[in-house]
Amino acid sequence: MEERPIRAAIYLRLSRDNRGSTSIASQREDCRAVCKSRGWDVVTEVEDVDISGSLPVDARPALRSIFAELDRFDVLLVAQPDRLARSTAVALSLLQNLDAAGKSLATARDLLDSATPDGRRKILSAVADAEGESSLIQARIRRSRASLREAERWIGGNAPYGYRIIGDTNGGKRLALHEKAADRMRWIVGQILEGETVTAVCHALNSAGVPSPGTVSSRTGKVSPWSPTVLRRMLQSPALLGRRTIGSGRDRRAVVDAAGRPVSVGPPLIDVETWDSLQTTLAARRTTAQRPRLHSSLLLHIAHRAECGSPLHYNSRRLLHGGGANDVYRCATGCKVLISAVRLEEAVQRRVLGEFGELPFIARIPVALGQPDEHVDQLRAEVEELAGRLANLRGLAADAVQRQLESRASLLEKLQSAAPIPWDWTSTGISVSEEWEVRGVGGRRQILVDLGVRVAVSPANNQRRWTPDRLHISATGPGPLLARAVG
């Protein structure tokens, strides 16, 4: 009976394909030559290119396919041991798997065979030598990178926004200011230090059609909008001081030399004092809510823009010095109506209490239930507030707010379509001023709603001083209370 020829599976691997002695082509030629001279049948041939020899089987698609069909071959053939692995641990694991399946490993150039003790020893020894060589190469690369990081020159990649790459006198590269982009970045920093939010700054830049850093650096011409997340990371990066940085996202930090000094690769875009102020401002916003909780602003859905009637939304802005706040009401449509929340609320409070404060407080109650029910008003306020938030959100945050908005709008529609509840007004025995004093912000807002108060705010028109003349306050209800006020 004629003996069946040995079946060989050829495995070719290279971290990076080239035309040298370890190229895929040269490995294939050597392996095929051995199979021909020994009369072996090649049943499969696979290759892993751009795959490290230190990776296990599961991380190598071609090698994984061979080990998934161990019954197809008798011997696994490679050009030399380091083509199988450059890690003794990985090589030993592969040999053990082959042993368990009754297979062996052979090399084409050294003619080694794992089926013999001497061949097995020499294969593992060659892999150990390759592993040592890899460790030396990696150590040299790390030293070279460390040396480049400490050198005051640009080592590659896109320039940070506000900079451009230029050549230096030593044949290397450095960063220089890109005047137009640098001025824009200084404007952004100034806006943040004046109390503007990162989201609002992005909205202003996108509305003005200013190209984002992603658009400027795109090689495909893709246009991308300014993103609050990306802009916040830009503002937190030490690159604004002309320093080399390492890491990404929140972990980005300045590279320091052996003496612990930051490595400079270009002129600072802002000075150190401004940088410190900027970081303090951004840090304060990370720990402080950007807007108050729902219904905590006194004039929510009561204050509007005089020209178009658009509602003014409440924005919480934290100041650097003293840790105080400079909260504002601003138009939901993004126009120039911007007014201090403290001044606006104080002016409205003075006007309302001055006109209605001494009158008896009349509570609005449902006749059928005998108990106050503000559920519909609350839902309506939530719907309007969520709609205002949604205009300035994107991505997952926008999706979450959209779901909340749809849920509350659906419930509001159901309640409003139900049979209306009859309401009446009843005297409480105390004055409006007394009731105002014992209520919180949400309760005071409800008093304004019951009085039918509406506040129309006009733009400042370049006037730097606050003046109550910008306000027009009207009240439309309830009938009995207004009748007494007029009388």
Asked whether the predicted pLDDT for residue 63 surpasses 60, the reply is: yes
pLDDT at 197: 85
Residues 62-83: what's their mean pLDDT?
A: 93
Verify cis geometry, omega within 30 degrees of 0, for the bond prior to 478: yes
pLDDT value at position 102? Answer: 93
More confident: 167 or 484? 167
The residue with greater pLDDT, 372 or 213, is 213
The pLDDT assigned to 45 comes to 95
Its pTM stands at 0.37
Q: Which CATH class is domain 163-287?
A: alpha beta
pLDDT of residue 330: 80
Identify the top-confidence range among 254-258, 279-283, 348-352, 443-447: 348-352
pLDDT at 464: 63
Residue-level pLDDT at 446:
80
Confidence of residue 1 (pLDDT cuts 50, 70, 90): very low
Structure tokens at 34: 């051995």
Q: Which of 2-16, 191-205, 309-323 has the lowest mean pLDDT?
A: 309-323
Residue 32 has pLDDT above 90, yes or no: yes
266: pLDDT confidence band, cut at 50, 70 and 90? confident
Q: Cβ-count burial of 87 within 10 angstroms (0-12 exposed, 13-18 middle, 19+ buried)?
A: buried
Residue 217 has pLDDT above 70, yes or no: no
**Pick from 322-326, 348-352, 411-415, 428-432: least confident:** 322-326
Average pLDDT, the chain: 78
**Predicted local confidence at residue 8, as pLDDT:** 95
Place 192 in a pLDDT band, splitting at 50, 70 and 90: confident
pLDDT for the residue 338: 75
In terms of C-beta density within 10 A (0-12 exposed, 13-18 middle, 19 or more buried), how is residue 403 classed? exposed
Q: 74: which residues sit within 8 A by CB, 6+ positions away?
A: 6, 7, 8, 103, 104
pLDDT class of 280 with cuts at 50, 70, 90: confident
Which pLDDT does position 369 carry in this prediction? 42
Residue 379 reports pLDDT greater than 50? yes
Fold of 7-147: Rossmann fold (3.40.50)
For 335-366, write each residue's pLDDT tens digit. Answer: 666 788 888 888 889 888 888 888 887 766 54
Between 25-34, 211-220, 221-230, 434-443, the lowest mean confidence (pLDDT) is in 211-220
Question: How far is the C-alpha of 155 from the C-alpha of 265, rounded, in Å?
Answer: 9
pLDDT at 171: 67
Domain boundaries, the chain: 7-147, 163-287, 289-373+421-487, 375-419
pLDDT score recorded for residue 288: 42
At residue 395, the pLDDT reads 62
Q: What is the pLDDT of residue 95?
A: 93
Look at 446 and 105; give whichever has higher pLDDT.
105
Q: How confident is the model at residue 295 (pLDDT cuts 50, 70, 90)?
A: very low
* pLDDT confidence of residue 41: 94
Among 33-42, 77-86, 129-138, 257-266, where is mean pLDDT lowest? 257-266
pLDDT tens digits for 415-430?
655 545 555 566 667 8
Asked if residue 73 has pLDDT above 90, the reply is yes
Reply yes or no on whether the pLDDT at 70 is more than 60.
Answer: yes
